[in-house]
A and B are shown apart, each in its own frame.
Chain A
Amino acid sequence: DGGITQSPKYLFRKEGQNVTLSCEQNLNHDAMYWYRQDPGQGLRLIYYSQIVNDFQKGDIAEGYSVSREKKESFPLTVTSAQKNPTAFYLCASSIDPTNEQFFGPGTRLTVL
């Protein structure tokens, strides 16, 4: 089955630690996205990538980093510089930037 997967579903981190969230898709999509979701704030774009080896900052990139070394993978690192990292993180992909986005099931990150 084609789809987009995120792991882990739940993640706990101590303050001061970096943590990497995984996102993999087998839809052969060029574009991939990372969003942060907080209650009452909808989806906020962290980073996006339209092609392998290229990515751009979204609206709230500070304290986050990404890589896009393979078409199917777009991992997100939440660094210790992110002041309030506890949130629900969603990864998505699309065949092109104007079309439907396919979402993964999300990762809930909690900083202890």
Chain B
Amino acid sequence: AQSVTQPDIHITVSEGASLELRCNYSYGATPYLFWYVQSPGQGLQLLLKYFSGDTLVQGIKGFEAEFKRSQSSFNLRKPSVHWSDAAEYFCAVVYTSGTYKYIFGTGTRLKVLA
């Protein structure tokens, strides 16, 4: 079945430390891949997306993500976390064979320690 997994429910990092949030997807064909961020009580905002081409994608707010086909992964990274990055992060995939189904992961909640 088509699915996307975010293995970490909660992550805590210190301000200034590096960050990596994991995302794995199922299925053999390369889907379209997205990362979104959600602040408490608000809607989601797109951080970055991957359709094809360069496997290292730059996004807003200093985030980047790398698509690794061999690992079926699309992990989100940031070299130095700021306190304002505390939020919930969602990975999403769209499988483009057959019907276009948009699937969101269950999210990773990031806490940043001062």
Contacts and interface: CB of A to CB of B under 8 A. Distances in A.
A100 B49 contact: yes
B105 A42 contact: yes
A40 B104 contact: no
Interface in B79-114: 90, 92, 94, 96, 100, 102, 104-107
B64 to A, nearest CB: 17
B32 interface: yes
Q: How many B residues touch the partner, as a band?
A: 20 to 34
A104 B105 contact: no
Given A40-B106, A97-B100, A98-B32, A103 B9 contact: no
Given A41-B106, A42-B104, A42-B107, A103 B45 contact: yes
Contact of A42 (B42, B94, B106): B106
A87 to B, nearest CB: 13
Contacts of A103: 36, 43-45
A39 B33 CA distance: 23
Interface string A27-56: 000000101000011110100000000000
21 contacts: A33-B102, A40-B106, A42-B90, A42-B106, A43-B90, A90-B43, A92-B43, A98-B32, A98-B94, A98-B96, A98-B100, A100-B34, A100-B49, A101-B44, A101-B92, A101-B102, A103-B36, A103-B45, A105-B42, A106-B41, A106-B43
